[in-house]
């Protein structure tokens, strides 16, 4: 393993990666995993990838797992990137792509964070953790925890997608609902981790989940032949996916796998929960708590992200943007892509298509630019986004 230490991105204090660390003890910021990138540059060559399995473990030099025996896997695959020409043409974008994270275990990108987070937790001897979730992360961590024999305590809003309750329940996690938002679930978890001395697996309160999410960035670079797209649009709640992709691209640049300009990163939020967009418009470095947050894209209902400053940094550093989409448009674009491409994506993913359309129409995305949408999960997890009232025939009726 090439990890050298954990580092606070604010005060740069170093922490030991062989101990269980959560936030920076001085400034309460998330810790980031740092690698010996110079040695990785010597040891790791692109051509090694040709003979490795098509899943996130192929990037092992840049992952924080010491022993292969600690890897906890539910069969991860390299998720496909599809050129979506039909829907692209319908909105005028000629080079439109979608990375479909619905192919992950449990149907969402959250399994990447859980795969690395749980594997490392196992390696560090963790026996139990608690976490707040908007549904999918909890489901992912609960299932990986079952495989790893780690106890999971999950707290999610009662409005989170119901199927994610089932995933927690059947895999043996202790599940609690809260009559509130993920921020309320977070407070309950904070008390529980103190009381029971659980590991706190809240977004960015442990340093390894992001290491799983960053594998999206590795895959994007490799799948595009190490020539990154011009723009990447990411549905942004807690923001770990976007931060992860940014971290991955910086690491790849450092080891010489990619060069030139990074993609402009765009955080896509929902109009009724857009703290990052507001901060970006006001040119601020951090966001403020968003009151009365509500959107059909439940996964991005995050009123205040602990890593907001990292999301904003990634946007500013790449000359990116942040944009909010109405629920009505989310549903419209979810249907548009299904009708054209046969892809049943989640509302969060649909928001990125709406955003790409808007950014192209207002000139921010130029003709012929290569644009990548991240669909963070399968539409299967959100049955309520589609209204279906087909006729019911009797057995002797005709169509």
For position 304 contacting a copy of itself by CB under 8 A, the verdict is no
CA distance 264 to 371: 10
Residue of 119, 143, 215, 376 interacting with a copy of itself (CB under 8 A): 143
User: Using an 8 Å Cβ cutoff, are 315 and 265 in contact?
Assistant: yes
Residue of 227, 261, 339, 361 interacting with a copy of itself (CB under 8 A): 339
For position 274 contacting a copy of itself by CB under 8 A, the verdict is no
For position 386 contacting a copy of itself by CB under 8 A, the verdict is yes
* Closer to a copy of itself by Cβ: residue 13 or 169: 169
CA distance 107 to 101: 7
Residue of 25, 38, 89, 162 interacting with a copy of itself (CB under 8 A): 162
For position 21 contacting a copy of itself by CB under 8 A, the verdict is no
Q: Which helix (H) or strand (E) holds 321?
A: strand 321-325
CA distance 205 to 34: 16
Beta strands in 28-138 (DSSP E): 32-35, 81-83, 96-100, 128-132
Residues 54, 109, 95, CA angle at the centre, nearest 5°? 75
Contact letters (x/-) for a copy of itself, 362-381, by CB under 8 A? ----------------xxxx
Q: Give the footprint of a copy of itself on residues 43-62 (CB under 8 A).
A: 50-51, 54-55
Tell me how far, at minimum, the Cβ of 242 lies from a copy of itself, in Å. 22
Any idea what DSSP says for residue 144?
H
For position 147 contacting a copy of itself by CB under 8 A, the verdict is yes
For position 338 contacting a copy of itself by CB under 8 A, the verdict is yes
CA distance 242 to 232: 9
In the block, tokens 């192929």 appear at 58
Q: Give the footprint of a copy of itself on residues 183-212 (CB under 8 A).
A: 184, 187-188, 191-192, 195
Residue of 153, 218, 246, 360 interacting with a copy of itself (CB under 8 A): 153
Tell me how far, at minimum, the Cβ of 112 lies from a copy of itself, in Å. 14
* DSSP string across 261-274: PPPEEEEEEETTB-
User: Using an 8 Å Cβ cutoff, are 61 and 37 in contact?
Assistant: no
CA distance 286 to 8: 16
In the block, tokens 């490795």 appear at 52
For position 70 contacting a copy of itself by CB under 8 A, the verdict is no
Size of residue set near a copy of itself by CB under 8 A: 80
Tell me how far, at minimum, the Cβ of 321 lies from a copy of itself, in Å. 27
In the block, tokens 């491409």 appear at 341
Residue of 30, 64, 106, 207 interacting with a copy of itself (CB under 8 A): 106
Q: What is the largest CA-CA distance in the chain?
A: 74
For position 165 contacting a copy of itself by CB under 8 A, the verdict is yes
Residue of 1, 40, 82, 128 interacting with a copy of itself (CB under 8 A): 82
Tell me how far, at minimum, the Cβ of 299 lies from a copy of itself, in Å. 15
Residue of 1, 74, 128, 250 interacting with a copy of itself (CB under 8 A): 74
Residue of 43, 77, 89, 226 interacting with a copy of itself (CB under 8 A): 77
Beta strands in 1-41 (DSSP E): 3-7, 14-15, 32-35
* Closer to a copy of itself by Cβ: residue 244 or 379: 379
CA distance 6 to 204: 13
Q: Which residues contact 252 (CB under 8 A, 6 or more apart)?
A: 217, 218, 221, 258
* Closer to a copy of itself by Cβ: residue 280 or 290: 290
Residue of 19, 47, 179, 292 interacting with a copy of itself (CB under 8 A): 179
């Amino acid at each position: 393993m090439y990890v050298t230490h954990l580092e606070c991105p604010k005060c740069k204090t170093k922490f030991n990666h062989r101990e269980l660390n959560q936030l920076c003890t001085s400034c309460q910021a998330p810790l980031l995993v740092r690698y010996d990138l110079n040695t990785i540059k010597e040891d790791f060559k692109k051509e090694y990838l040709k003979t490795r399995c098509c899943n996130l473990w192929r990037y092992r030099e840049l992952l924080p797992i010491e022993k292969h025996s600690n890897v906890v896997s539910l069969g991860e695959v390299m998720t496909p990137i599809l050129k979506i020409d039909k829907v692209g043409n319908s909105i005028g974008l000629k080079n439109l792509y979608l990375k479909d994270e619905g192919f992950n275990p449990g149907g969402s990108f959250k399994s990447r964070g859980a795969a690395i987070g749980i594997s490392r937790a196992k390696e560090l001897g963790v026996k139990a953790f608690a976490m707040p979730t908007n549904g999918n992360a909890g489901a992912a961590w609960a299932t990986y925890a079952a495989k790893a024999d780690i106890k999971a305590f999950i707290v999610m809003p009662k409005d989170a997608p119901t199927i994610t309750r089932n995933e927690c329940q059947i895999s043996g996690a202790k599940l609690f609902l809260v009559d509130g938002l993920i921020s309320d679930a977070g407070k309950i978890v904070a008390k529980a981790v103190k009381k029971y001395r659980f590991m706190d697996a809240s977004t960015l309160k442990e340093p390894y989940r992001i290491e799983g999410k960053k594998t999206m960035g590795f895959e994007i670079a490799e799948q595009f032949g190490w020539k990154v797209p011009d723009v990447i649009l990411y549905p942004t709640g807690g923001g770990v996916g976007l931060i992860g992709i940014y971290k991955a691209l910086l690491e790849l640049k450092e080891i010489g796998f990619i060069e030139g300009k990074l993609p402009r990163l765009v955080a896509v939020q929902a109009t009724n929960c857009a703290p990052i967009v507001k901060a970006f418009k006001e040119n601020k470095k951090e966001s403020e708590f968003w009151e009365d947050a509500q959107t059909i894209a439940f996964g991005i209902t995050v009123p205040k992200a602990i890593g907001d400053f990292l999301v904003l940094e990634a946007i500013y550093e790449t000359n990116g943007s942040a944009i909010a989409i109405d629920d009505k448009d989310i549903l419209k674009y979810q249907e548009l892509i299904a009708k054209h491409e046969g892809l049943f994506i989640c509302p969060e993913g649909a928001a990125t298509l709406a955003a790409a359309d808007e950014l192209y129409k207002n000139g921010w995305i130029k003709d012929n630019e290569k644009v990548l949408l991240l669909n963070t999960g399968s539409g299967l997890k959100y049955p309520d986004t589609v209204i279906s009232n087909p006729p019911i025939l009797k057995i002797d009726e005709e169509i």
